[in-house]
Structure 1
């Protein structure tokens, strides 16, 4: 079997309804996965400047923020999600208009 996606969101985790026979293997794999997410070799850190924006594919990257001391300044972070189907549809639609207008 091949792994195609890992969908991880700590705040959406729930109890697992899996057989006792695989529970130990699950937790061993989970510990290994968490270790990989904290390995400096797998982490890119950068400080954004006011007005900068970052865009990423939420299915391709784990993301997070480091601690912030509110006594050092202000922090405003706005986020939004775009449904993949909606995004792909918009790209196809815009691509079609672009091709039609240049023909």
Structure 2
């Protein structure tokens, strides 16, 4: 599995704000379904800003793109995708020691 933090910001094009508001409920329902399925591990709404932050657990970059763009409100969102690694996914000490050996 691959983990990604995705910051979604509202970005409706000129003249699309009404459509965005009308479809927002569908977008929240879509996100809730992904949380229930386990595709989204954590979901937050940004306080004082538009959009939210979700942590996705998917099999590939392609699956992430599919999940993001299947959201009914995705045409009105801007995504910032940040790949993540679990802390236990690598041995930090060996990485630091390798760097020290090269000094």
TM-score under structure 2 normalisation? 0.29
Larger RCO (CA under 8 A, 6+ residues apart): 2
Greater share of residues in strand: 2
Radius of gyration: which is bigger? 1
